[in-house]
Structure 1
Amino acid sequence: MSTDPLSLTFAALADPTRRAILARLSQGESSVKELAEPFAMSLPAVSKHLKVLERAGLITRGREAQWRPCRLDPGPLQDVSQWLEHYSRFWDQSLGRLDAVLREIGTRPPDEPGA
């Protein structure tokens, strides 16, 4: 598996459980036990998901006495957003050209060739 940051982020985001964990953490920090509650899986299984998210830099885990809170780190998501922005502009331009062609076709008189 590739270890470049963008690949690690996409690999982490590929799993719906990890995306759900990130959605939960976007509301504030949580313990592993709290994050595991909505899932029908063991705490060790949730911990494995958290390790993938942590390796991708999407979460951080702290230590406050007995509590080990997990926190969202939005940095890698910003990197993904910037990477996708290039393609968003590409599709906006492509669809804009298609729209112009369709408008041109739609404004031709019925007897005009190509209409």
Structure 2
Amino acid sequence: MTEDRQQKAPSKPGYNDCKKMENYHVMVEMQDGRSFDGILVDVSGDTFTILISEDVVVDEHGQVADERQYGYGRRRARRFRRGIYPIAGLTALALFPYAFRPYPYYYPYPYPYYY
């Protein structure tokens, strides 16, 4: 038996897809080619609000450092900026991948390790 199977093109994410991923860290790709990651905060009507993450280097006084090297007294931080975009401009929406391991794979003791 031969059946005609048509491959469906991936559909654009809509309101329901955005609502399912609300309050999660997601990867977003827009129609104009931009892609970014952030936390999807609010979905209302035809727009969604996302906190877009960006890495910054901060010195010991809390000022943003312009140097590229991490010297003494400098640390990395993550800043989130709010952005409001139309749902119609979405091309792709996916959960940000995290790898969870309850303990290291090289755990040296047999479980349980107490006597």
Q: Same fold (TM over 0.5)?
A: no
Larger RCO (CA under 8 A, 6+ residues apart): 2
- Choose 1 or 2 for highest CA Rg: 1
Which has the larger share of strand? 2
Question: For the superposition of Structure 1 and Structure 2, which TM-score range results when normalised by the shorter chain?
Answer: under 0.3
Which has the larger share of helix? 1
TM-score, with length taken from structure 1 = 0.27
TM-score, with length taken from structure 2 = 0.27
